[in-house]
Amino acid sequence: MTVASAARREAPGLVSVPTTPTRGLPTEVAQANARHASKELQRHVGAFKIDAKAAMLPRLRRAVGFSARAHAVSAKGHRSDVPWMVTLTYAGDNSAWSPEHLTRAMDAVRIWCKREGFACRYVWVAELQQRGVIHYHAVFWLPVGVRMPHWDSRGWWPYGMSNTLKAKHAAGYLMSYLKKGSHDGEFPKGSRRYGVGGLDHALRRARRWLGCPAFVQGNASIWDDWKRAEGGGWRSPSGDCVPSEFARVFVGDGWCLQRVHAHPVSIAAAGPFSWLSDRERAIGSMQ
């Protein structure tokens, strides 16, 4: 096994292509299954199966982690705002949950922030309690000297209990609740896993850029408007339709992904960036 293939096997959300188990089967059946799996793999070289839940976790951590750290900065530099942690729990079980509950509570907080004279800047994540009930962890960045009210006493959260504390490490606090297999159970249908609000425009563009596939990131700045194309693939700012690099193929006993294109990239992007203009390149070359 090559180093590259070993790395792929260990990548989050990726598992090797499954074959039919041989334990307990007659020898001739096991051999037939092995031959069939081998032919399938030969036809689909490089195909791999995605564990959807495991693949979702890195995306969540990337979006939440970036957003939490982005709230600590602005176009003018570091912010002095104080992060406040808010925990929201339900008194009942998931049958009492509604997507409108958090929406109404957040609307109340936005009205309060506007009345106090500052922007409502926040990141929240949803988690399952040990008893399998959804609850929320949020961080709000407030000006120095402003205290976050208790949501239940204000009537913003009449569905259970709330807790409010200052946060020393806001990003770490939020990321700690995005762990694989932290609790058993399923999130209520229609619930969201996280939410972000109040980011500066440039930081919103950077967060959007982070959600694009690697070949788009390698050919775009945060200001370039790449969009998903109807029927699949991506549409570049110039209007060209670029097909996706992976296609779904059926291998063994399930659907897998296989690389079918390898688009060239202008830069090996490792994080949000903006292209230098020709004038900036010229100035840099003279220094």
Q: How confident is the model at residue 16 (pLDDT cuts 50, 70, 90)?
A: very low
Evaluate if residue 151 carries a pLDDT over 50. Answer: yes
**Tens of pLDDT, residues 241-265:** 999 998 888 877 788 888 888 999 8
Average pLDDT for 16-26: 39
**Tens of pLDDT, residues 158-205:** 999 999 999 888 888 898 888 755 556 789 999 999 999 999 998 999
Q: What is the pLDDT of residue 5?
A: 45
Q: What is the pLDDT of residue 59?
A: 87
> Which has more pLDDT, 61 or 252?
61
Q: What percent of the chain has pLDDT over 70?
A: 76
One-letter-per-residue 3-state SS of the chain: CCHHHHHHHHCCCEECCCCCCCCCCCHHHHHHHHHHHHHHHHHCCCCEEECHHHHHHHHHHHHHHHHHHHCCEECCEECCCEEEEEEEEECCCHHHCCHHHHHHHHHHHHHHHHHHCCCCCEEEEEEECCCCCEEEEEEEEECCCCCCCCHHHHCCCCCEEEEEEECCCHHHHHHCCCCCCCCCCCCCCCCCCEEEECCCHHHHHHHHHHCCCHHHHCCCCCCCCCEECCCCCEECCCCCEECCCEEEEEECCEEEEEECCCCCCCCCCCCCCCCCCHHHHHHHHHC
Average pLDDT for 209-234: 92
Q: What is the pLDDT of residue 197?
A: 96
Q: How confident is the model at residue 236 (pLDDT cuts 50, 70, 90)?
A: very high
Evaluate if residue 8 carries a pLDDT over 50. Answer: no
Average pLDDT for 38-66: 74
CA distance 229 to 240: 10
- According to DSSP, the residues that pair with 227 across neighbouring strands are 235
- Which domains are seen in the chain, by residue range? 3-43 (no CATH), 53-207 (3.30.70), 214-286 (no CATH)
CA distance 101 to 47: 42
**Tens of pLDDT, residues 23-34:** 444 444 444 444
Q: What is the pLDDT of residue 3?
A: 43
> Which has more pLDDT, 278 or 173?
173
**Tens of pLDDT, residues 88-147:** 999 999 999 999 999 999 999 999 999 999 999 999 999 998 889 999 999 999 999 999
Q: What is the pLDDT of residue 76?
A: 67
